[in-house]
């Protein structure tokens, strides 16, 4: 049996769901994931419908496009309108900045092109040595190593980087400080964990007594992770466990970690609607200032606005509300006409719920 088929076996899923029902406490428990792909799996396979009424799975800030603050979109727009060609991923160009998006800036004559990878950006810069390019580098620990490779390889002189990478464990720690959220356990993201390994999550059981399970992306992965968390909660224990051993090792990808450390330092970073989270962003090291677009072009955005009036993305992104609780959801904000960042990306909670949970 193929691996993905094994982890989608409906008979086994039913058995695990029954086991979860036996483990579920009589009081409400809230389990939080921080990954757009986890939310997609949960919504697509209807996993919430298999859970007892006391077990709630909420979505944290796990969509790299959604959490991009408007100020950093505004920086890219300013560059695109100044004649520099901005290269970035397809989802990003539709994300709202303070007033407009990269997509709208392109319609107004700005230079914006979609690429599929940072190496595509390098190739484009090499093909057009007479033009200046900026790669808007977004994503979590999973995509940062690819950016680091090109920075360390001293990519073409006419390509610089607007770095907007963010780190997941500090965002998880931030969630624990949200007074009335009351999370009982974390489902940690499998993709990020293939890079960072298990150690960065150790703080959650040790300092916060928070059960934490790293999980894969198939429906059975998520159900297993939920059962492992409920087992810990039942025992009154808090451990760090790895459900996704077929991909995640204790130490993670050491080569990728070294690349990140060589190219970037860790700084505080803004997350859309959530403010600044300490030690949650990557910034190019001083020795790479020659390819740092913020230094090279002296981009400065003094005022920005993360949320359009009525948009509740800041509450959706911390799992405080579900998308249908936003008054704009599937009324004026839809996948074909998004008003907020969470409705733009395929990893955004509102878009996933719009496509799976509620008929448009």
Give the strand pairing for 133-139 and 112-114: unpaired
| Min dist. Cβ of residue 328 to ligand SF4 (A) | 4
Q: Which is nearer to ligand SF4, 201 or 329 (CB)?
A: 329
Nearest-angstrom CA–CA distance, 299 and 265: 20
Q: Which is nearer to ligand SF4, 58 or 87 (CB)?
A: 58
| Min dist. Cβ of residue 164 to ligand SF4 (A) | 19
Q: How far is CA 77 from CA 98, 106, 109, 149, in A?
A: 10, 9, 11, 25
Instruction: Output phi, psi for 156, to 5 deg.
Output: -50, 145
Q: Which is nearer to ligand SF4, 45 or 329 (CB)?
A: 329
Looking up tokens 């994931």 gives 33
Nearest-angstrom CA–CA distance, 348 and 124: 29
Q: Which residues of 112-140 are buried (b: 16+ CB within 10 A; e: fewer)?
A: bbebeebeebbebbeeeeeebbbbbbbbb
Q: Which is nearer to ligand SF4, 124 or 313 (CB)?
A: 313
Q: Which residues bind ligand SF4 (CB under 6 A)?
A: 311-313, 316, 323, 326, 328-329, 333, 339-340, 342-343, 350
| Min dist. Cβ of residue 339 to ligand SF4 (A) | 4
Q: Which is nearer to ligand SF4, 195 or 311 (CB)?
A: 311
Quick one: tokens of 57?
């799975």
User: Which residue lies nearest ligand SF4, judged by its C-beta?
Assistant: 340
| Min dist. Cβ of residue 74 to ligand SF4 (A) | 18
| Min dist. Cβ of residue 129 to ligand SF4 (A) | 40
Q: Which is nearer to ligand SF4, 137 or 341 (CB)?
A: 341
Give the start-end residues of each E strand in 101-149.
112-114, 133-139
Nearest-angstrom CA–CA distance, 341 and 65: 7
Nearest to 356 by CA among 319, 332, 330: 330
Quick one: tokens of 187?
């489902």
Q: Which is nearer to ligand SF4, 39 or 132 (CB)?
A: 39
| Min dist. Cβ of residue 245 to ligand SF4 (A) | 35
| Min dist. Cβ of residue 71 to ligand SF4 (A) | 18
């Amino acid at each position: 049996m193929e691996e993905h088929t094994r982890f989608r076996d409906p008979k086994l899923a039913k058995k695990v769901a029954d086991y979860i029902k036996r483990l579920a406490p009589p009081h409400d428990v809230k389990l939080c994931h921080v990954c757009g792909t986890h939310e997609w799996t949960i919504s697509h396979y209807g996993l919430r419908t298999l859970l007892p009424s006391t077990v709630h799975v909420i979505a944290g800030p796990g969509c790299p496009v959604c959490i991009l603050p408007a100020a950093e979109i505004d920086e890219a727009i300013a560059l695109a309108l100044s004649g520099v060609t901005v290269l970035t991923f397809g989802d990003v160009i539709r994300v709202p900045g303070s007033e407009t998006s990269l997509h709208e800036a392109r319609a107004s004559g700005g230079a914006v092109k979609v690429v599929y990878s940072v190496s595509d950006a390098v190739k484009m810069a090499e093909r057009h040595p007479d033009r200046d390019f900026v790669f808007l580098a977004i994503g979590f620990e999973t995509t940062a190593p690819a950016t680091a490779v090109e920075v360390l390889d001293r990519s073409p002189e006419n390509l610089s980087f607007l770095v907007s990478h963010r780190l997941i464990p500090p965002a998880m720690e931030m969630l624990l400080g949200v007074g009335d959220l009351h999370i009982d356990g974390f489902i940690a993201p499998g993709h990020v964990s293939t890079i960072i390994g298990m150690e960065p999550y150790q703080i959650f059981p040790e300092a916060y007594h928070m059960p934490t399970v790293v999980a894969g992306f198939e429906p059975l992965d998520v159900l297993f992770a939920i059962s492992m968390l409920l087992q810990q909660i039942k025992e009154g224990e808090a451990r760090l466990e790895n459900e996704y051993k077929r991909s995640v090792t204790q130490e993670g990808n050491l080569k990728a970690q070294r690349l990140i450390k060589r190219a970037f330092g860790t700084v505080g970073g803004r997350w859309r609607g959530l403010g600044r989270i300490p030690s949650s962003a990557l910034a190019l090291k001083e020795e790479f200032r020659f390819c740092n677009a913020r230094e090279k072009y002296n981009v400065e955005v003094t005022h920005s606005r993360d949320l359009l009036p009525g948009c509740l993305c800041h509450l959706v992104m911390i799992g405080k509300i579900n998308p249908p609780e936003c008054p704009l959801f599937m009324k004026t904000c839809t996948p074909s006409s998004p008003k907020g960042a969470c409705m733009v990306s395929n990893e955004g909670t509102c878009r996933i719920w719009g496509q799976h949970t509620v008929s448009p």
